[in-house]
């Protein structure tokens, strides 16, 4: 099973919590307006001061002075000029992507992926290495060396990395300082590992559940972009769902939202856990039951189905029905406008899409759009980067404007 995201995972000191109960002094006002300008500039990519004044509703002098502060803080740069139809040429500004960096890490069973992004969200370096670690020390070492290498490759000092996010199966237990329910990663459940990585890298780190990060990845960069509410169903070794509502993770009261492995499910013989029914192992089991022989893997079954092998086709059909059950339950409770299918079965979503859609139609009148993941294997990594970016932008803004 994919565990939930732990809110404010392993995040250290600088919390950047909103405090809406605080009074609004003039300093806060200025900082709010500077932030507004910076955000607008990020959205536009590049803009002149006059344009920003029009867009934000602030007066030109205010924009000029606020932008001067931002430039002095190193958050913004002149990047060129633009000649309008007629009139004076404008000086263009853009956020400085090198004002800080965000680190994303995806710890998967087969692969370890690390990426570094500038504040504009663009990756500046990335490394994917096979995860063959079978013990906690080996895994942490691998993470540390890979992350260091990524930073070195891009010439970024660790001190410039404002924030990092690690994606992993399971849940990070803040109190016990360890990851729980990550049964597929040997040794990864030991206490203090994240603290050790944080200490060795010198980068603030948060830990989140991989299904949740994948959902956020699809929201930030993929097929869920801009969706009001969507669910990402991750089918692979386990089964998990990430929910993104209004651009933010919906984690539930204790961070266990999306634990659809626990959905009640009536198997054909006896009630069983849904997680055991969906997921890679179940496909193999079903195929075997329908008569397939030999050394089977989920991938092999899907490949056979693609070739038209009848037993494999039936197994895939059954898998589609089971996923449809999940989708229908999520639809009835959440009413998402979109359900994204991804995870280990990513390569085989083409085969599953039709049966899932058909069975959903039969199960419920609620019909969210069902789409395959766009980011595929990169969803978790890019989600980690997106979350790290969010925090990094806040931190860099606060750090750089505080000293003025």
- The site partner of 262 among DNA, a copy of itself, none (C-beta below 5 to 8 Å per kind) is a copy of itself
Quick one: what does residue 61 bind among DNA, a copy of itself, none, with the CB cut-off 5 to 8 Å set by partner type? DNA
| Residue 22 near which of DNA, a copy of itself, none (CB within 5-8 Å, type-dependent) | a copy of itself
Residues binding DNA: what is the number (CB under 7 A)? 30
- Residue 351 host element (H or E): helix 349-363
Q: Which residues of 212-227 are buried (b: 16+ CB within 10 A; e: fewer)?
A: bbbbbbbbbbbbbeeb
CA distances from 33 to 140, 160, 226, 257 (A): 42, 25, 24, 35
Of positions 66, 203, 234, 356, contacts DNA by CB under 7 A: 66
According to DSSP, the β-strands at 90-95 and 76-82 are: antiparallel
Q: Is 64 in the site for DNA (CB under 7 A)?
A: yes
CB-side exposure of 12: number of CA atoms within 13 Å?
13
Q: How far apart are CA 375 and CA 272, in angstroms?
A: 31
Under rule CB under 7 A, residue 254 binds DNA:
no
Question: Is the Cβ of residue 55 or residue 195 nearer to DNA in the bound state?
Answer: 55
* C-alpha distances out from residue 301 to 95, 144, 292, 316, 341, Å: 49, 37, 9, 8, 18
Instruction: Give contact residues for a copy of itself (rule: CB under 8 A).
Output: 4, 21-24, 26, 29, 32-33, 36, 56-58, 227-230, 241, 245, 250-264, 266, 271, 325, 328-338, 363-366, 368
Within 10 angstroms of residue 292's Cβ, the number of other Cβ atoms is 19
Q: Is 2 in contact with 278 (CB distance < 8 Å)?
A: no
State yes or no: residue 145 binds DNA (CB under 7 A).
no
Asked if residue 22 binds DNA (CB under 7 A), the reply is no
Question: Among the candidate windows 84-92, 118-126, 281-289, 314-322, which touches DNA by CB under 7 A?
Answer: 84-92
Binding flag, residue 87, DNA (CB under 7 A): yes
248 binds, options a copy of itself, DNA, none, Cβ within 5 to 8 A by partner type = none
Q: How far is the CB of 59 from a copy of itself (least distance, A)?
A: 9
User: Minimum distance from CB of 24 to a copy of itself (Å)?
Assistant: 5
User: In angstroms, what is the minimal distance from the CB of 20 to DNA?
Assistant: 16
58 binds DNA (CB under 7 A): yes
| Binding at 98: pick from a copy of itself, DNA, none (beta carbon under 5-8 Å per type) | none
C-alpha 391 chain-centroid distance = 13
Query: Residue 56 or residue 149: which is nearer to a copy of itself going by CB?
Result: 56
Bridge-based pairing state of the strands 101-107 and 161-168: parallel
Closest approach of a copy of itself to the CB of residue 161, in Å:
29
Q: Where are the alpha helices (DSSP H) in 202-309?
A: 210-221, 274-277, 280-290, 298-307
**Among DNA, a copy of itself, none, what binds residue 49 when CB lies within 5 to 8 Å by partner kind?**
DNA
- For residue 54 the two structure tokens come to 């029009």
**376 to 395, contacts with DNA by CB under 7 A?**
none
Q: Do 213 and 380 form a contact (C-beta atoms < 8 A)?
A: yes
Residue 36 or 363 with smaller CB distance to DNA = 36
- Minimum Å distance from CB 66 to DNA? 6
Q: What CA–CA distances, in Å, run from 263 to 195, 253, 272, 301, 313?
A: 34, 17, 10, 25, 25
Contact segment (CB under 7 A) with DNA among 53-61, 263-271, 352-360, 378-386 equals: 53-61
Q: How many Cβ atoms are within 10 Å of 103's Cβ, its own excluded?
A: 29
The yes or no reply on residue 65 touching DNA (CB under 7 A) is: yes
Pick one of a copy of itself, DNA, none as the site partner of residue 84 (Cβ within 5 to 8 A by kind).
Answer: DNA
CA neighbor of 316 nearest in space, from 273, 295, 345:
345
Residues paired with 103 in a beta bridge: 116, 164
Site residues for DNA per CB under 7 A: 23-27, 29-30, 33, 48-51, 57-62, 64-66, 83-91
């Amino acid at each position: 099973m994919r565990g939930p995201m732990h809110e404010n995972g392993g995040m250290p000191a600088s919390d950047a919590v909103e405090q809406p109960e605080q009074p609004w002094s003039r300093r806060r006002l200025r900082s709010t307006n500077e932030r507004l300008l910076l955000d607008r500039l990020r959205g536009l990519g590049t803009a002149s001061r006059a344009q920003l004044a029009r867009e934000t509703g602030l007066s030109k002098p205010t924009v000029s002075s606020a932008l001067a502060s931002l430039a002095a803080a190193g958050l913004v740069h002149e990047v060129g000029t633009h000649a309008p139809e007629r009139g004076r040429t404008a000086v263009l500004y853009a956020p400085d992507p090198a004002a800080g960096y965000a680190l994303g890490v995806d710890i998967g069973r087969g692969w370890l992926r690390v990426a570094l992004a500038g504040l504009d969200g663009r990756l500046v370096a990335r490394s994917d290495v096979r995860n063959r670690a079978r013990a906690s020390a080996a895994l942490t070492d691998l993470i540390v060396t890979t992350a260091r290498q990524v930073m070195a490759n891009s010439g970024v000092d660790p001190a410039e990395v404002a924030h990092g996010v690690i994606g992993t199966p399971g849940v990070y237990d803040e109190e016990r300082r360890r990851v729980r329910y990550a049964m597929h990663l040997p040794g990864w459940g030991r206490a203090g590992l994240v603290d050790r990585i944080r200490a060795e890298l010198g980068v603030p780190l948060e830990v989140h559940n991989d299904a949740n990060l994948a959902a956020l990845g699809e929201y930030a960069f993929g097929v869920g972009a801009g969706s009001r509410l969507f669910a990402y169903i991750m089918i692979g070794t386990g089964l998990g769902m990430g929910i993104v509502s209004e651009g933010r993770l919906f984690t539930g009261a204790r961070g266990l939202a999306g634990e659809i492995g626990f959905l009640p499910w009536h198997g054909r013989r006896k009630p069983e856990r849904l997680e055991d029914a969906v997921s890679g192992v179940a496909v193999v089991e079903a195929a075997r039951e329908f008569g397939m022989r030999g050394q089977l893997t989920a991938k092999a079954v899907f490949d056979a189905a693609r070739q038209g092998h009848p037993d494999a086709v039936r197994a895939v059909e059954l898998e589609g029905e089971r996923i449809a059950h999940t989708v229908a339950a999520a639809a009835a409770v959440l009413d998402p406008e979109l359900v994204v299918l991804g995870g280990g079965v990513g390569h085989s979503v083409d085969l599953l899409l039709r049966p899932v859609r058909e069975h959903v139609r039969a199960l419920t009148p609620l019909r969210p759009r069902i789409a395959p993941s766009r980011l595929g294997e990169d969803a978790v990594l890019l989600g980690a980067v997106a979350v790290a970016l969010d925090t990094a932008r806040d931190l860099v803004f606060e750090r750089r404007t505080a000293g003025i």
